[in-house]
């Protein structure tokens, strides 16, 4: 991180200015991913999406608040016929623009539009490295070809793209194949492996990895870039907001409560006055006493949304995160033992 960027972030944090806002343009999606937490009846709903004029007002408010970046997401944002007009409106307010897309709707026309926007970044999820795996994970025959085409068109136009590998139980055995494919595309991989999957509407998620699958992938990855570190809660309520398709305001994706609506009040007033945001900002690391006492806490990256969804309490740990931390610790210890053995064998040869 550059000194200038670090200074800007510290300045924003000191003045409680949100860095970025994610806007869900629609819940509609052309894929039916197995692990998706958004119910199918919501993904097919078209009513009550914010109008272009309402979104232009949102962008003006965010500019006045000093927000740096807007991320357009979904559902699949390109399913809206007016997505480009919306994106242009964000740029007109001098907001940095990011786009979250599955890339399957990117044809020549959309690729040219995206390139013309010069987005800060386009983030694309990778569900598989072959037709069989990708189409299984996304529930759509032919999706892999459309996905590969979209990435190729963005590559040809030199668009800044980051990839996120998504792994679930049905695709775990093909993880290395998927990763090799992602690496072959030539775009940076922002997320190589993240076992966290939110609960679905039925209160479960049968697509989560087993312990064995999770440990095996941690071992295959070598826990790249990971090292044990003191427990620290996430920054929910301090650095960003999510705006839903109908104008609802939430502190994070998946958060079960709304804190307001852009159609009934200003975003700045909600940001400053929401009692939910104030309570989130007041949380201290020591409030998570169960986590502090846990033997796996140096291997945990707690998600407060998962805490609420799974336990009803923001400070009571999600058992899924406890499981992930335990598996990460197990893999870390195995890798450390292997390295020590290798060092020992090398010393004996010398």
pLDDT in tens, 69-78: 999 999 999 9
pLDDT tens, residue by residue, 93-117: 999 999 999 999 999 999 999 999 9
Residue 5 has pLDDT above 80, yes or no: no
Residue 57 has pLDDT above 90, yes or no: yes
Q: Find tokens 């440990």 and name the residue.
A: 215
Whether omega for the bond prior to residue 75 falls within 30 degrees of 0, making it cis, is: yes
Whether omega for the bond prior to residue 301 falls within 30 degrees of 0, making it cis, is: no
Residue 53 three-state SS:
helix
Across residues 115-138, what is the average pLDDT? Answer: 97
From 85, 122, 316, 334, select the one nearest 221 (Cα to Cα). Answer: 334
Average pLDDT, the chain: 92
- Residue 43's pLDDT is 56
DSSP single-letter state for residue 256: S
Q: Distance of CA 238 to CAs 19, 69, 174, 341, Å?
A: 9, 15, 38, 45
Q: Distance of CA 141 to CAs 133, 135, 237, Å?
A: 11, 5, 39
Cα four-point dihedral sign 96, 160, 130, 224: negative
- Residue 47's pLDDT is 66
Q: How far apart are CA 157 and CA 154, in angstroms?
A: 5
Copy the structure tokens of residue 7.
């200074």
Q: Provide the phi-psi class of 228: left if phi over 0, else alpha when psi is between -120 and 50, else beta.
A: beta
Helical H runs in 35-170?
40-43, 52-65, 83-92, 108-117, 131-138, 143-156
Q: Distance of CA 174 to CAs 80, 206, 239, 247, 295, Å?
A: 32, 18, 36, 39, 32
Copy the structure tokens of residue 253.
């994706």
pLDDT tens, residue by residue, 22-31: 999 999 999 9
Q: How far apart are CA 318 and CA 124, in angstroms?
A: 27
Q: How far apart are CA 211 and CA 195, in angstroms?
A: 10
Residue 81 has pLDDT above 80, yes or no: yes
pTM as predicted: 0.92
Across residues 49-70, what is the average pLDDT? Answer: 96
């Amino acid at each position: 991180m550059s000194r200038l960027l670090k200074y800007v972030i510290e300045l924003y944090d000191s003045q409680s200015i949100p860095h970025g806002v994610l806007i869900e343009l629609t819940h509609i999606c052309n894929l039916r991913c197995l692990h998706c937490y958004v119910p199918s009846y919501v993904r097919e709903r078209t009513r009550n999406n914010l109008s272009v004029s309402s979104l232009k007002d949102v962008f003006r408010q965010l500019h006045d608040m000093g927000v740096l970046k807007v991320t357009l997401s979904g559902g699949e944002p390109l399913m809206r016929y007016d997505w480009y007009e919306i994106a242009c409106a964000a740029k007109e307010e001098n907001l940095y623009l990011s786009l979250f897309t599955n890339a399957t709707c990117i044809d020549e026309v959309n690729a040219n539009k995206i390139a013309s926007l010069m987005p800060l970044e386009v983030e694309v999820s990778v569900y598989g490295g072959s037709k069989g795996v990708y189409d299984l994970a996304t529930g759509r025959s032919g999706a892999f070809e459309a996905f590969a085409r979209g990435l190729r068109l963005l590559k040809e136009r030199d668009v800044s793209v980051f990839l996120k590998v998504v792994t679930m139980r049905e695709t775990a055995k093909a993880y290395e194949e998927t990763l090799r494919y992602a690496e072959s595309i030539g775009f940076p991989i922002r997320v190589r492996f993240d076992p966290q999957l939110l609960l679905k509407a039925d209160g479960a998620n049968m697509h989560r990895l087993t312990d064995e699958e999770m440990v095996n992938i941690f071992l295959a990855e070598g826990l790249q870039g990971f090292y044990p570190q003191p427990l620290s809660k996430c920054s929910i309520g301090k650095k960003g907001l999510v705006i839903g398709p109908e104008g609802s305001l939430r502190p994070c994706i998946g958060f079960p409560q709304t804190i307001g609506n852009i159609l009934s009040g200003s975003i700045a007033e909600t940001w400053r006055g929401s009692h939910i945001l104030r309570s989130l900002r007041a949380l201290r690391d020591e409030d998570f006493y169960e986590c502090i006492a846990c033997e796996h806490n140096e291997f945990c990256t707690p998600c407060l949304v998962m805490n609420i969804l799974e336990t009803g309490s923001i400070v009571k740990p999600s058992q899924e995160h406890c499981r992930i931390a335990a598996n990460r610790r197990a893999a870390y210890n195995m890798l450390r033992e292997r390295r020590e053995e290798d060092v020992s064998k090398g010393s004996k040869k010398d």
